[in-house]
Structure 1
Amino acid sequence: MQAASLLVTGVSGHLGHRMATTLLHATTLPLIGTTRTPARVADLSPGMTLRAADFSQPDGLPDAFAGAARMLLTSLPAETAGPLRVARQRHAIDAARQAGVRHIVYTSFLATADGPLAALAADHVETEATLCATGGATALRNAWYAEMLLTTLPRSMATGVLRTLDRHAGVAWIARDDCAVAAAAALRGEGDGRPVYQLTGPQAVTPLELAETANAVLGASIKVLEFTPEAMLKALLEDGVAEPMARLLLYIEQGLAKRAMAETSGDFGSLTGQRSAGIDQFLETHRDALLQAADAAQ
């Protein structure tokens, strides 16, 4: 009798593709990957059955999920945030249960419903509630992705200034590669069976520590400047950031200043038996890309 499959959704996305690739090297069980665009991930096909699945078209989802015993539900991207994301993820959960999926692992978010970044957490809180009400589930509450620094840090390297509301407010950055390792372990049923794991980097890195590490690892000359919220918004607008996005970025900065992403956890080690990468290791890994981006920003 053929073993039941493990399934990963969203395998054409940044995190979903990493999780699928990690699983290909971590298990001999049959694997299924779903995406709206299977042709974009042909590299996965030698070891993974690829199926088309669109969460906005729920009628086709049970067939897409058929044969899977456990499913890794990759949260939909930020552009669908709000009721649309919640509804589409509920479509996927309902279809998975209909298809006989016994356990769903969900890539959630570290922020809480009553915390400083509650608006960003709301969709994940609702999705977790749906999962708990429908059967076996594990929520992986990922901290802020270190890959965000690949976009923001080059500007600081080019200008020599890292702007912040609080130079002592830490962020427990975690790399997507580490999140993929943890997700693969959870999907395989490893760990101690808890319903929630908080996945963070090994320490909360303050803006001062980030600048110091970037200067040491990348040869940058960054200094940290504190701004008031009003000055931060003005600076973002002067940079050419559209006002809605500037206000969102300010909201995030205010949340970080209130330590919304400062909590660290040992859950990554409990789940994987490994240690998540520190910020120095992350910057070293992406050194060439960061230097090239900084040169382009000059």
Structure 2
Amino acid sequence: MILVTGATGNYGSKAIAYLLKKGVAATNIAALVRNEENYQALEEQGINIRVGDYADIDSMVKAFAGVDKLLLVSSNDRGAIENRTKHHINAITAAKQANVKHIVYTSFVRKNGYENSAIAGFQNSHVASEKFLKESGLNYTILQNGIYQEMILAFVGDKVAETGTILFPAQNGKASWVLREELAEVAVNVLTTQGHENRTYNLTNNTSVGFEKIATYISEALGKEVSYITPEVETFKTILEKAGVPEMYIGMFIMWGTALGEGMMDLEDNTLESLLGRKPASVNQFIAKIYG
């Protein structure tokens, strides 16, 4: 039995779809949901529905009963980052109590110097979670995923076609953007093949791309010029405040923009290609599909 947490989310739902595509019987797949809502599509496919919450160890021990392999999709709790660490530790603790044999954990790409970066807190959560998992005695595979290509859409804004401008404080920073769907596919490949026990994989793209290049790609897809402007953080913050953007989102944009400028996600690697069995989707291909 393979159980997927976050089963109704973008990543978890794609992982379940790939498990079925791989030929894993629906009766051998379980989906963890927080409540008995919004899971009808999974249930109709014959997927086992398990109710559990990252904040409740006992609920997860029950949910993990009979599970051999667990795809632990990292928590997306919008509260304090420390909440996520606790959620991961709870899930690992519950898995051990339930005699799960192997955990595949979705972490995040990490480079030297992360401790002093804009995403230090975010990274520290994954570092602590990875450490706890390694010390748990369970077999593990850690997937250090690159930043999603889908995040580009949030950073360039939904009016880029109208304004012809990308305004984002990432300076000249690049990232090895990856397609979320391909990361989910690799997770399934790991879950359904041998030889991945106690391994850590960097899952990033072969080529890193910055926003100057992204602006060029969008220009080509739209057939009109799109320029990239990278203001200082305080200027960017003021612009967003005047536009009425909620403070939570301003903080998120600044954090990721600054981290991109620091090069914290610029890590080219061919492991994703190897585990996919093909070249991963490029940023240019993603942009062309979205804006073409």
TM (normalized to structure 2)? 0.89
Q: Does 1:19 align with 2:23?
A: no
Q: 1:80 to 1:73 in 2, by over 3 A?
A: farther
Q: Does 1:214 align with 2:218?
A: yes
Q: Report the Cα distance in structure 2 between the residues aligned to 1:96 and 1:27, rounded to whole angstroms.
A: 25
Partner residue in 1 for 2:150:
147
Partner residue in 1 for 2:251:
247
Q: Report the Cα distance in structure 2 between the residues aligned to 1:184 and 1:81, rounded to whole angstroms.
A: 30
Q: CA RMSD in A?
A: 2.1
Give CA-to-partner distance per residue, 1:90-125, whole Å, 9 cap, x none. 111111111111110011111355252212212111
Q: Which amino acid aligns with 1:128?
A: E
TM (normalized to structure 1)? 0.88
Partner residue in 1 for 2:236:
232
Alignment equivalent of 2:2, drawn from 1, 6, 10: 6
Alignment equivalent of 1:163, drawn from 160, 167, 170: 167
User: Are the counterparts in 1 of residues 81 and 121 from structure 2 also a CA contact under 8 Å?
Assistant: no
Q: 1:186, CA displacement in angstroms?
A: 1.6
Aligned length: 284
Partner residue in 1 for 2:125:
123
Q: Which amino acid aligns with 2:17?
A: T
Deviates more, 1:192-201 or 1:262-271: 192-201
Q: Report the Cα distance in structure 1 between the residues aligned to 2:224 and 2:195, rounded to whole angstroms.
A: 40
Q: Report the Cα distance in structure 1 between the residues aligned to 2:86 and 2:196, rounded to whole angstroms.
A: 30
Q: Report the Cα distance in structure 1 between the residues aligned to 2:291 and 2:169, rounded to whole angstroms.
A: 26
Q: Report the Cα distance in structure 2 between the residues aligned to 1:127 and 1:6, rounded to whole angstroms.
A: 21
Q: Which amino acid aligns with 1:251?
A: M
Q: Report the Cα distance in structure 2 between the residues aligned to 1:8 and 1:177, rounded to whole angstroms.
A: 15
Percent identity between the two aligned chains: 27
Q: Which amino acid aligns with 1:40?
A: N
Stretches of structure 2 that go unaligned for 5 or more consecutive residues are: none
SS at match of 1:50: strand
Q: Does 1:285 align with 2:286?
A: no
Q: 1:247, CA displacement in angstroms?
A: 3.4
User: Are the counterparts in 2 of residues 191 and 272 from structure 1 also a CA contact under 8 Å?
Assistant: no
Q: 1:240 to 1:18 in 2, by over 3 A?
A: same
Partner residue in 2 for 1:100:
99
Alignment equivalent of 1:272, drawn from 262, 273, 276: 276
Q: 1:195 to 1:220 in 2, by over 3 A?
A: farther
Q: Report the Cα distance in structure 1 between the residues aligned to 2:197 and 2:88, rounded to whole angstroms.
A: 23
